[in-house]
């Protein structure tokens, strides 16, 4: 549950702002210290005094008003934040956050904030569906910012659609779900991204993994209170804060680092896309084309199976979760892998579908348990799938 934290609540210019007053009250009731930052447009709907009276804290509105000469207020606020909540978040603040624009108190403080950020959008359906907003929300998600789905319902415009700001109690429940600490004191190893197997100094064999799935899992485990070690290969998204990062390139390095980290860990979630083969010989110079040779053969040798290696030595109290990335016979192949690698759970994903799997923002998976039980998830964001995996892992550990 979200309690006893220093929260900075950013309110922006949406008619739904009246619900943020209730949200602020609910957050305070749970023992949080709430400080509010308002945009200029937000102040056209509600006076800063209302939030000040409610939170008993100064409301920040202007980056050039410095009441304390000993500190710079937007930096102090950013540094003093445990959790940043942007609610309601208009298309405008989302666009600024996605592009690093800092032109007022809210956007400047957000840019300086390293604490986890939670965005609760509120806008008209068509604004939400606009490709620019879709792009900006995707960017925020890639930057590790957690976004709440908007509600479907009657909008201020008089018609029904998505984009509606959820009720404050729903927002609080959603936020609470990230701050349950079922994994407090647990050491969790997560692997993410793709491996690179060198052919020569400038060429390698790799795959399309973006790291989105594994990084979302690392964030979800961190939010659940775990000490997280992220062993990470090649990725195209931001690495999370608040976790120990071990960078690797090849499958051999991945095996070494994961083995070391797992020896004192409670659980491993292996989301990295590992090359099954590597060139037998790494050429020490760039391979040249020659006029007399139209073909080049590279002999490949099998890489060690990391999960299988770790699975054969795992302690009874350690939990191991693997993925199965399949283009055909998804369940059949995943069932073979859970047995072969001695796993507690395998997350089967169909990587032939471009909406899910490699480099997508969403995923749809089937959870297959050791006892044969199978549960198919909805199509959902990788953040939601990550939270489900972490919830299952908590149950398996406890």
Angle of helix 168-178 versus helix 17-29 axis, rounded to 10: 50
Q: Evaluate whether 45 touches 88 at the Cβ level (below 8 Å).
A: no
Residue 286 half-sphere exposure toward CB, CA atoms < 13 A: 3
Token duo for residue 177: 């779900």
CB of 176 to ligand PMT, least distance (A): 26
- Is the sign of the CA dihedral 66, 67, 71, 77 positive or negative? negative
Strand 146-147 relative to strand 187-192, pairing: unpaired
Token duo for residue 299: 């002999």
CB of 367 to ligand PMT, least distance (A): 13
Q: Is 223 in the site for ligand PMT (CB under 6 A)?
A: no
DSSP state of 371: T
Fill in the per-residue mask, 265 to 304: x = in contact with ligand PMT (CB under 6 A), - = not in contact: -----xxxxx-x--------------------------x-
Residue keyed to tokens 């051999």:
252
Q: Which of 83, 248, 325, 338 binds ligand PMT (CB under 6 A)?
A: 325
Q: Which of residues 242-271 bind ligand PMT (CB under 6 A)?
A: 251, 270-271
CB nearer to ligand PMT: pick between 143 and 169: 143
CB of 274 to ligand PMT, least distance (A): 4
CB of 349 to ligand PMT, least distance (A): 5
Q: Is 13 in the site for ligand PMT (CB under 6 A)?
A: no
Q: Pinpoint the alpha helices (H) of the chain.
A: 17-29, 40-45, 48-55, 73-79, 91-99, 105-112, 125-129, 131-142, 168-178, 212-223, 251-263, 306-311, 330-340, 382-397
Q: Is 213 in the site for ligand PMT (CB under 6 A)?
A: yes
The C-alpha atoms of residue 391 and residue 398 are separated, in whole angstroms, by 11
Q: Is 121 in the site for ligand PMT (CB under 6 A)?
A: no
Of 92, 207, 223, 303, which residue is the catalytic one? 207
Going from the C-alpha of 91 to that of each of 17, 24, 106, 126, the distances in angstroms are 14, 21, 14, 11
Q: Is 66 in the site for ligand PMT (CB under 6 A)?
A: no
Please identify, among the stretches 94-102, 118-126, 221-229, 318-326, the one whose residues bind ligand PMT according to the rule CB under 6 A: 318-326
The three-state DSSP-derived secondary structure of 227-265 is EEEEEECECCCCCCCCCEEEECCCHHHHHHHHHHHHHCC
Q: Evaluate whether 36 touches 106 at the Cβ level (below 8 Å).
A: no
Q: Is 209 in the site for ligand PMT (CB under 6 A)?
A: yes
Q: Is 392 in the site for ligand PMT (CB under 6 A)?
A: no
Q: Which of residues 141-180 bind ligand PMT (CB under 6 A)?
A: none
- Closest by Cα among 365, 209, 321 to 274: 209
CB nearer to ligand PMT: pick between 7 and 273: 273
Q: Which of residues 31-60 bind ligand PMT (CB under 6 A)?
A: none
The C-alpha atoms of residue 320 and residue 343 are separated, in whole angstroms, by 5
Please identify, among the stretches 26-34, 98-106, 284-292, 320-328, the one whose residues bind ligand PMT according to the rule CB under 6 A: 320-328
Q: Which of 57, 130, 256, 358 binds ligand PMT (CB under 6 A)?
A: 358
Residues present in the chain in total: 398
Q: Is 207 a catalytic site residue? A: yes
Q: Which of 63, 94, 119, 351 binds ligand PMT (CB under 6 A)?
A: 351
CB of 287 to ligand PMT, least distance (A): 25
Q: How many helices (H) and strands (E) does the chain have?
A: 14, 21
Radius of gyration of the chain (CA): 24
CB of 55 to ligand PMT, least distance (A): 39
CB nearer to ligand PMT: pick between 11 and 310: 310
Q: Is 337 in the site for ligand PMT (CB under 6 A)?
A: yes
Q: Which of 206, 359, 366, 377 binds ligand PMT (CB under 6 A)?
A: 359
Q: Is 357 in the site for ligand PMT (CB under 6 A)?
A: yes
Count residues contacting ligand PMT (CB under 6 A)? 27
CB nearer to ligand PMT: pick between 32 and 349: 349
CB nearer to ligand PMT: pick between 61 and 349: 349
Binding stretches for ligand PMT (CB under 6 A): 209-214, 251, 270-274, 276, 303, 305-307, 322-325, 337, 349, 351, 357-359
Q: Mind telling me the catalytic residues? A: 207
């Amino acid at each position: 549950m979200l309690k006893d934290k220093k929260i900075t609540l950013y309110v922006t210019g949406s008619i739904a702002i009246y619900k943020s007053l209730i949200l602020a009250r609910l957050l305070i009731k749970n023992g949080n210290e709430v400080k509010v930052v308002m945009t200029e447009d937000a102040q056209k709907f509600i006076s800063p005094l209302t939030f000040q009276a409610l939170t008993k804290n100064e409301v920040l509105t202007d980056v050039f008003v410095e009441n304390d000469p000993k500190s710079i207020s937007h930096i102090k606020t950013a540094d003093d934040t445990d959790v940043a909540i942007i609610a309601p978040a208009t298309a405008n603040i989302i666009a600024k956050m996605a592009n690093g624009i800092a032109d007022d108190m809210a956007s400047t403080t957000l840019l300086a904030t390293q604490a986890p950020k939670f965005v609760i959008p509120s806008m008209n359906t068509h604004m939400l569906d606009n490709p620019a907003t879709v792009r900006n929300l995707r960017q925020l998600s890639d930057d590790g910012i957690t976004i709440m789905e908007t509600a479907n319902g009657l909008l201020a415009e008089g018609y029904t659609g998505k984009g509606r700001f959820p009720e404050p109690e729903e927002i609080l429940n959603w936020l609470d779900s990230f701050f349950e600490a079922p994994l407090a004191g647990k050491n969790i190893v997560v692997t993410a991204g793709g491996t690179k197997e060198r052919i020569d100094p400038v060429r390698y064999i790799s795959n399309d993994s973006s790291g989105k799935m594994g990084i979302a899992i690392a964030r979800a485990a961190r939010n659940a209170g775990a000490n997280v070690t992220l062993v990470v290969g090649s990725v195209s998204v931001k690495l999370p804060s608040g976790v120990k990062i071990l960078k690797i390139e090849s499958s051999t390095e991945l095996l070494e680092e994961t083995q070391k980290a797992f020896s004192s860990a409670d659980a491993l979630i292996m989301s990295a896309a590992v090359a099954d083969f590597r060139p037998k010989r790494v050429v020490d110079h760039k391979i040249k084309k020659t006029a007399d040779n139209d073909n080049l053969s590279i002999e490949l040798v099998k890489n060690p199976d990391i999960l299988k290696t770790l699975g054969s030595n795992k302690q009874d109290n350690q939990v191991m979760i693997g993925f199965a990335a399949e283009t055909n016979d998804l369940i059949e192949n995943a069932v073979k892998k859970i047995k072969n690698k001695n796993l507690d759970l395998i997350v089967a994903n169909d990587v032939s579908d471009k909406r899910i799997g490699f480099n997508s923002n969403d995923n749809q998976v089937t959870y297959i348990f050791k006892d044969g039980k199978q549960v198919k998830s909805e199509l959902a964001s990788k953040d939601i799938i990550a939270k489900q995996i972490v919830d299952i892992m908590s149950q398996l550990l406890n």
